[in-house]
Amino acid sequence: MVRKPLIAGNWKMNMTPAESVVLSQGISNRSARGWNKVDVVLCPPAIDLRSVVTVLDFDKSSIEVGAQNVHWEPSGAFTGEIGIPMLKDVGCSWCIVGHSERRAMFAETDMQVNRKVRALVEAGMKPIVCVGESEAVRDKGAAEAFVCDQVRAALAGVDADEAALCSIAYEPVWAIGTGRSATPEQAQSMACAIRRTVRDLVGEEVACGMRILYGGSMKPENAEAFLSCEDVDGGLIGGASLDADDFAALVKTAVDHV
């Protein structure tokens, strides 16, 4: 099956609303023929979503917008949180879930990740579910078991139609923001294990169609090697998504692969 590549930029806690206009405009200006063959998603901080959507709408761009986090309840007494109806209202159709920074620094659990995934798919939104092992887990030789457990936990209670909305980003914790990416072989072998796990959970068809991304120090210079892997269908890009030229170069690499 031919899967449409997905390139998502995770801006993390960077860019004021004014800066987000400049960056999204810069990326939109660099978009070229063929970009619609790839799902390109910008995930700015929540406070920037409105500005970024406005820029992309004005340009009639095929680039879409995602959030970096969400609460599973639609509304209520959850100070500081953002609900799915708010994201949909602002024009956001994707959402990163379970990023390792949220798991490590904000104590997000597998169970919370699962609640978020279920709430998003019930609302018809598209979760990008992040999984990945620490260096200690990899050194013990337990990376595959750990990551596949995270996948099973994230997708618990999700049926095949709902899972079809999900993508999974394999992001080894030791590769994020370190400049030390995984090897393409490591990425391919984990992506293949993730796809097998998804197949066991929701069947062959959805597993074959699901985009599995690599993330962790992916940049224009190494993107080609990752995107050439049979089971790697795109990237979740942190640092390199903050530079319009780098991000556009990454998208172009994906376009050239279609």
Query: Which residues are annotated as catalytic?
Result: 99, 171
Applying the rule CB under 6 A, the residues between 196 and 215 that interact with ligand PGA are 215
Shortest Å distance, C-beta 235 to ligand PGA? 8
d(CA 14, CA 2): 34
Among 34, 85, 177, 203, binds ligand PGA (CB under 6 A): 177
Q: Contact 255/3 with Cβ under 8 angstroms? A: no
Question: Least CB distance from residue 179 to ligand PGA, whole Å?
Answer: 8
Hey, which residues between 222 and 241 contact ligand PGA (CB under 6 A)? 236-240
**Pick 227 or 236: Cβ nearer ligand PGA:** 236
Contact yes or no for 17/48 (Cβ under 8 A): yes
Q: Is 218 in the site for ligand PGA (CB under 6 A)?
A: yes
Which residue of this chain has its Cβ atom nearest to ligand PGA in the complex? 238
- CA 219 to CA 119: how far, in whole Å? 32
Q: Judged by CB under 6 A, does residue 216 bind ligand PGA?
A: yes
Structure tokens at 171: 């992001």
Closer CB to ligand PGA, residue 216 or residue 234?
216
> Which of 99/195 has CB closer to ligand PGA?
99
Q: Compute the least distance from the CB of residue 5 to ligand PGA, in Å.
A: 16
User: Number of residues in contact with ligand PGA, rule: CB under 6 A?
Assistant: 13
SS3 content of the chain, % helix, strand, coil (to 5): 50, 15, 35
Residue among 68 and 197 whose Cβ is closer to ligand PGA: 68
Minimum distance from CB of 73 to ligand PGA (Å)? 25
The binder of ligand PGA chosen from 5, 6, 7, 10 (CB under 6 A) = 10
Nearest-angstrom CA–CA distance, 72 and 59: 32
To ligand PGA, the closest distance from the beta carbon of 74 in angstroms equals 26
Using CB under 6 A, which of 63, 155, 176, 232 touches ligand PGA? Answer: 176
* Token couple for 9: 């930029």
Residue span 126-165 as binding mask against ligand PGA, x where in contact by CB under 6 A, dash where not: ----------------------------------------
CA 50 vs CA 95, 150, 258: distances in Å: 15, 32, 31
Q: Tell me how far apart the alpha carbons of residues 102 and 22 are, in angstroms, rounded to a whole number.
A: 27
Instruction: Give the DSSP letter string of 177-207.
Output: TSS-PPPHHHHHHHHHHHHHHHHHHH-HHHH
Burial-class residue 184 by CB neighbours within 10 Å (0-12, 13-18, 19+).
middle
Contacts with ligand PGA, residue ranges (CB under 6 A): 10, 171, 176-177, 215-218, 236-240
